[in-house]
A and B are shown apart, each in its own frame.
Chain A
Amino acid sequence: MSEVVGATPARPAAGRSPLMSLVLAVGRHRLASVGLVVVALLSLVALLAPLLAPYSPYEQDLYNVLSGPSPAHWLGTDNVGRDLLSRLIYGTRISLFVGIVGTLLSAAVGVTVGLIAGARGGLVDAIIMRITDAFLCFPPLIFILAMSAALGPGIHNVILSFALFGWTGFARIIRGQVLLVRELPYVEAARSIGMSPLRIMWRHILPNTLAPIIVAVSISIGLAILVESGVSFLGLGVQPPTASWGKELRVGFTYIETVPLFSIVPGLLIALAVIAFNFIGDGLRDALDPRLRGAMGRS
């Protein structure tokens, strides 16, 4: 045949990497771009904490205890005279660390377990799913608090107890996706060309199950930050003298009538971070649908 069917491209075929085009697509989403900016700023603050913080988070100014905002201490000082701004800047490190590591850990476990359940099916699937059901019977915060209490205080145990609960959600999402995707004709097509089951799993099934996972990851980071704050608020998370947002919120809460900023600012930071990650999750959900990508490119 001599004729060549011409394509009408939905967008100019620019040689962009998939990651770059994803970031660009999220950037075109209005709320997600706000979230992206906030998260980028928070990450910068966490990375550059020693440069940005005016004082060490442990340096006490005993002449200024529980002072309000002043030129020397922009957000005032805490009950032992430490600079609140510096403590919150260093606290960003803890919160983001718990959020990201806790989520990645639970996602890694959840995706693996979910893949096994969905791919193997039968008894393996039934057992794994009943275990996740059992986990989901507990109220999340109570479960994580109990785990933290059992494991003992400390930031690594907060991460561990978050992951111990968090994997169930990821496992359920992946399992459902695998059940859906493995019946699609392109998976049958992959079988028909003689591909091994493992390679089909890796090349065809896994990439097509990840979209909801990436969305869930961004929302879970927000949740983990919230959990860290909650656990630290109750005294089970980071231990003194380390600063974290939840810790500052807790200590500041005692003095809310005299120095309201002490608790309000950490509270706002927690809310800001959680909302920002949720916005990114929304944007990712829209951007990851390849059918929507072309349409978004034109708008």
Chain B
Amino acid sequence: MAEPDDNALVEARNLRVEFPVLSGLLRRKQVASVRAVDDVNLAVRRGEALGLVGESGCGKSTLGRAILHLIRPTAGTVLFDGHALDTLSEVAMRRHRRRMQMIFQDPYSSLNPRMTVGEAVAEPMLVHGLSDEGDSQEKVADLFRTVGLDPRMMTRYPHEFSGGQRQRIGIARALASEPDFIVCDEPVSALDVSIQAQIINLLERLRGALGLTYLFVAHDLAIVRHLSDRVAVMYLGQIVEIAPKDEIYARPLHPYTQALLSAAPIPDRAVEARRQRTLLQGEIPSPLNPPTGCRLHPRCPKAHATCRAVEPKLRQLDGQRWVACHLYDDAPTTGGG
């Protein structure tokens, strides 16, 4: 079931990513496959920041990579500005990458230790012929200023920088090819809390200034709340809820979203003591062998018979809210759901 959207810059349709599980000592055979991303439909609108949250291992980073075709999806398509990425040739895909970039989680290992940071930032421009060796220096200096770094540091190597500075370099590299769309893969989770806010503010400012579209992958709800317009919640490879930021935080519909919000502490003792909390039982099941029906049912406090048998589809409720849960089967459906 697609989430139709005329204003989508990036759209994932029935996207599926499977990783083979190999076994055997001499002749390795595929014995099973893990569905890291299972039949995901997701649209990122022009100019919006879509937050993608979920536990570790739920497939949110894999989804981000599959959307950029850094991991080849097993099935489904990604439409980028109307082009289906899977139909592009190798060379055409590489050209397309100019418009879609990524900011990586680990600011330490995402920069080549044997390249100066200036060279790293210049690379996308040189690859896409946006500048030649001569004027790339000047453009790199501009990018350094844009992300709040001193251009005089261009000739240094990554190991001479702090984590926050390196992440700024990673952001400058992502901006170098003048992209429209950036997947931010937990860009602040490896940083000190004091630095996180700086990077978040920088990303927010850049979005406004450059008209960027973000898919912001995170496991930290507070950060997503700050940066996103809409939030998608993922559980075991599937999207369980999509809603505008304010609504999802004020009135989460899916029990899993409720549980996620309950798990985040509120820095106010009075509120913390009064609030109702949804707690999940047990551990996250193995994606090798996901539960039947609704994938949350073994852990869900509100599960009933249907949940065990029938897989809920992502359905549009009122306005912009989408949820995949049998609790809302009777709720009126609007739009194309």
Contact = CB atoms under 8 A, between A and B. Distances in A.
A9 B102 CA distance: 28
A186 B111 contact: yes
Given A5-B165, A9-B156, A192 B149 contact: no
A257 interface: no
Contacts of A196: 94
Contacts of A5: 148-150, 164-165, 168
Interface string B120-158: 000110011000000000000000010111100101110
Interface string A175-217: 0000000001110111111111001000110011000000000
B165 A1 contact: no
A51 interface: no
Given A184-B109, A194-B124, A294 B173 contact: no
Contacts of B161: 7
B55 interface: no
A150 interface: no
Interface residues of A, number: 29
A191 B97 CA distance: 9
A192 B102 contact: yes
A150 B262 CA distance: 78
B56 to A, nearest CB: 17
Nearest to A288: B114
A122 to B, nearest CB: 11
Contacts of B105: 185
Given A1-B148, A10-B159, A207 B70 contact: no
A13 interface: yes
B104 interface: yes
Contacts of A1: 147-148, 201-202, 205
B127 A195 contact: yes
A193 B124 contact: yes
A15 to B, nearest CB: 8
Contact of A194 (B110, B127, B145): B127
Nearest to A3: B148
B230 interface: no
B160 interface: yes
A252 B173 CA distance: 65
Interface in B260-287: none
Nearest to A197: B90
Interface of B: 68, 70, 93-98, 101-102, 104-106, 109-115, 123-124, 127-128, 145, 147-150, 153, 155-157, 159-161, 164-165, 168, 170, 173, 176-177, 201-202, 205
Closest 7 CB pairs of A and B: A194-B97, A185-B110, A194-B94, A193-B124, A186-B112, A192-B102, A185-B109
Interface of A: 1, 3-7, 9-10, 13, 184-186, 188-196, 199, 203-204, 207-208, 290-291, 294
Given A184-B109, A186-B113, A195-B94, 16 more contacts: A1-B148, A4-B150, A5-B149, A5-B150, A5-B165, A7-B165, A186-B109, A188-B104, A189-B170, A192-B97, A193-B101, A194-B128, A207-B114, A290-B113, A294-B159, A294-B160
30 contacts: A1-B148, A1-B205, A3-B148, A4-B145, A5-B148, A5-B149, A9-B160, A10-B159, A184-B109, A185-B105, A185-B106, A186-B112, A189-B102, A189-B111, A190-B123, A191-B70, A192-B68, A192-B70, A192-B97, A192-B101, A193-B127, A193-B173, A193-B176, A193-B177, A194-B96, A194-B177, A199-B127, A204-B112, A204-B115, A291-B159
